Amino acid sequence: MRVYLLLSVISIICLGLQFEPLSSYVEWNAAAIHSGQWWRILTGNFTHTNFAHWAMNLIGLWFIGFIFKPNLLTLLLPLLLTSMAVGIGNLFTDMQIYVGLSGSLHGLFGYYALRESLHRRKSSGLLVFGLMAKIVWEFSFGASTVTSDLIDARVAIESHLFGAVSGLSLAYFSHWYGRKQNA
């Protein structure tokens, strides 16, 4: 039940960050980050280009919550870590402005799918494969133009990659660390 409260709080925060002047103050902005506004590395993930973008991302977040059934800590920690990884990763691209939760969602999905696969739910390996195939597809053929039109922006496929890599890495590291502790 507490995880749904957390999902609700995240949804409300994201909704609040849709409005000016907050949205401009929290968006991921390379120039602002380089001038010392480091919070944008994290907060840019929680604002969106428009309400369609917000709704798509929050539906994705709730969907991940319903499928994988994390507890409070196993939702909050990976969400924050993958969001940080996306924000930091974006600094190594030519991106100037970034908003949206989709990179973090790719990270959460990868984290939970690989975690399940490593804990003997082998069918979840197909989810990991599907995630990797989606990333390869986007880098080979581009993101969906329908999505770009809907969110009124270019889909930041680099952020999807950073999120997926960070989520998969986190799942592998936590599995390795857990096995080491139990040995």
* pLDDT tens digit sequence for 146-182: 999 999 999 999 999 999 999 999 999 998 887 778 7
pLDDT at 55 over 90: yes
pLDDT at 183 over 80: no
Q: Are residues 13 and 47 in contact, defined by beta-carbon separation less than 8 angstroms? A: no
Strands (E), the chain: 28-29, 97-98
Provide, rounded to the nearest whole percent, the portion of the chain with pLDDT above 90: 90
pLDDT at 91 over 80: yes
Could you tell me the CA-to-CA distances from 142 to 61, 114, 130 in Å, in that order?
A: 23, 25, 16
pLDDT at 92 over 90: yes
Instruction: Spell out the residues 6+ positions from residue 64 whose beta carbon is closer than 8 angstroms to its own.
Output: 105, 108, 109, 112
In tens, the pLDDT along 120-146 reads: 888 898 999 999 999 999 999 999 999
Q: Find residue 98's DSSP bridge partners.
A: 28
Burial class (CB in 10 A: 0-12, 13-18, 19+), 47: buried
Could you tell me the CA-to-CA distances from 155 to 96, 144, 150 in Å, in that order?
A: 13, 8, 10
pLDDT at 43: 98
pLDDT at 181: 80
Q: Which domains are assigned to the chain? A: 1-181 (1.20.1540.10)
pLDDT at 74 over 90: yes
pLDDT at 1 over 90: no
Per-chain mean pLDDT for the chain: 95
pLDDT at 145: 92
